[in-house]
Amino acid sequence: MREFVHVGHPARVVFGAGALRHLPRELELLGARRALVLSTPGHAAAAERVARGLGAGAAGVFARALMHVPLEVAREARAEARRLQADCVIALGGGSTTGLGKAIALESGIPILAVPTTYAGSEVTPIYGLTEAGVKRTGRDARVLPRTVIYDAELTLDLPLRLTVTSGLNAIAHAAEGLYARDGNPLMSLLAEEAIRCLSRALPSLGANPRDLAARSQALYGAWLCGTVLGSVGMALHHKICHTLGGGFDLPHADVHAVVLPHAIEYNATAAPQAMAALARALTSEAPARALYDLARAHGAPHSLRELGMREADLDRAADLASTDPYWNPRPIERSAVRILLQRAWEGAAPG
Ligand code: NAD
């Protein structure tokens, strides 16, 4: 066994269908008396319901979270938290809402209680992102790690199928890259393999019935594990390409992950045999890249950058950006090979 260093991130995780009923208890444990509830505009009614349920325990609602945390939105939310003298934020939603909570916590140090409703995994990472003038800056800071996470699968029952699948593949991407991370370790590999197994079983069940609570719970459990891997070890080529495409070409986050993942796995296949063996076990397929591609296609997820609105003429610039300041990757990042990967992802070609 090779040497490793593992740092666990402290968080209290409350998991279970209907677990949101424990919110008052969890706020009390945090010592919070004036929580600001955050959501995206689409989730405003749910955020208002949560605030009403807390009565005097809620300081207010800020329902303007946006993808990639634009700095101006972060500033407004920080000002609102100060004005209301909030002593905690409740981030009810996906990665965008959690991200807004992190922007507030980064400045004020107040704790985040996260209630994730997608599979993005941000709720268990100390990673934050802020976007200014179209450029997304990310960093790590212990202050932004949510102190408590409530995973309630009932809140995910209405997650649209397409977002269920793309968000699930976004989660799988964290685990898949964790399997070949330079700073990976046996504990994270265990979590990653189990996470991929859970999500790849749950997604087809949800394709058949998006309101299958058992499958929703299995997917959410998988997402927790995937997020834990993302928060603990470094990511590689896949995440670099997705950040490049999402930030530089304004493509939707989870969709990009769904399209790129099979191609990134194929790129690394020969350089990371142990990771591929784990992926093959988890996906019960000797061709993991193809299995991920088929999983996406079978359930209506996008499979080409073209259908996400990317222009073929931009592929050269994307290849330049993705191979500049590269993240560590098991196979060296060669600009020409990345350009081919991007072409195949743009066309929606099947791996292999
Ligand atoms: P999102 O939070 O933007 O949500 C997408 C849409 O789905 C929103 O309109 C939202 O209102 C809606 N939605 C969310 N949950 C729903 C539900 N249960 N039912 C119905 N609709 C629902 O999308 P996301 O993919 O969760 O998050 C993407 C963002 O998270 C990106 O900015 C990404 O960079 C960030 N992220 C950060 C980390 C990290 O560790 N910092 C990890 C993963 C993702």
- 3-class DSSP state for residue 226? helix
A 10 A CB-CB count for 306 gives 15
The pLDDT, as a whole number, for residue 135 is 77
| Backbone phi and psi for residue 206, each to the nearest 5 degrees, phi listed first | -70, -25
- Asked whether 104 and 133 are in contact (CB, 8 A), the reply is no
Identity at 272, one-letter amino acid code: A
- Asked whether 164 and 219 are in contact (CB, 8 A), the reply is yes
- The Cα–Cα gap between 227 and 174 comes to 7
The pLDDT, as a whole number, for residue 325 is 85
- The Cα–Cα gap between 166 and 148 comes to 25
The single-letter DSSP state of residue 35 is E
- Asked whether 204 and 161 are in contact (CB, 8 A), the reply is no
Protein residue with its CA nearest to atom 5 in ligand 1 = 94
**Ligand 1: nearest atom to the Cα of 156:** 18
The single-letter DSSP state of residue 209 is -
Output the six-digit token pair for 184.
Answer: 């990976």
The pLDDT, as a whole number, for residue 247 is 79
Identity at 98, one-letter amino acid code: T
- The Cα–Cα gap between 2 and 83 comes to 51
Using a CB cutoff of 8 Å and minimum separation of 24, what contacts does 276-279 make?
Answer: 278/179, 278/189, 278/192, 278/193, 278/196, 279/176, 279/179, 279/193, 279/196
Q: How many CA atoms lie within 13 A of 188 on its CB side?
A: 29
- The Cα–Cα gap between 152 and 145 comes to 19
CA of 335 relative to ligand 1 center, distance in Å? 30
Output the six-digit token pair for 48.
Answer: 């208002």
Pocket perturbation via mutation, ligand 1, pick of 39, 48, 112, 122 by most ligand atoms within 8 A of CB: 122
CA of 98 relative to ligand 1 center, distance in Å? 8
Provide the CA 228 distance to its chain's centre, in angstroms.
10
CA of 148 relative to ligand 1 center, distance in Å? 18
Pocket perturbation via mutation, ligand 1, pick of 43, 73, 118 by most ligand atoms within 8 A of CB: 118
CA of 350 relative to ligand 1 center, distance in Å? 27
- 3-class DSSP state for residue 131? strand
- The Cα–Cα gap between 137 and 6 comes to 25
**Ligand 1: nearest atom to the Cα of 231:** 40
Protein residue with its CA nearest to atom 37 in ligand 1 = 122
Pocket perturbation via mutation, ligand 1, pick of 43, 92, 96 by most ligand atoms within 8 A of CB: 96
- The Cα–Cα gap between 38 and 101 comes to 7
pTM beyond cutoff 0.85: yes
- The Cα–Cα gap between 99 and 23 comes to 20
The pLDDT, as a whole number, for residue 149 is 98
- Tokens 């209907």: give the residue: 18
Protein residue with its CA nearest to atom 6 in ligand 1 = 94
The pLDDT, as a whole number, for residue 133 is 82
List all residues whose CB is within 6 A of at least one atom of ligand 1: 40, 42-43, 67-68, 93-97, 99, 117-118, 120-122, 125, 127-129, 155-156, 158-159, 163, 167, 170, 230, 253-254
**Ligand 1: nearest atom to the Cα of 160:** 20
The pLDDT, as a whole number, for residue 250 is 84
Identity at 216, one-letter amino acid code: R
Give the H or E element holding residue 136.
strand 135-140
Query: Tens digit of pLDDT per residue, the chain (352 long)?
Result: 889 999 999 899 999 999 999 999 999 999 999 999 999 999 999 999 999 999 999 999 999 999 989 999 999 999 999 999 999 999 999 999 999 999 999 999 999 999 999 999 999 999 999 988 877 788 999 999 999 999 999 999 999 999 999 999 999 999 999 999 999 999 999 999 999 999 999 999 999 999 999 999 999 999 999 999 999 999 999 999 999 998 788 899 999 999 999 999 999 999 999 999 999 999 999 999 999 999 999 998 999 999 999 999 999 999 999 999 889 999 999 999 999 999 999 999 999 8
The pLDDT, as a whole number, for residue 187 is 97
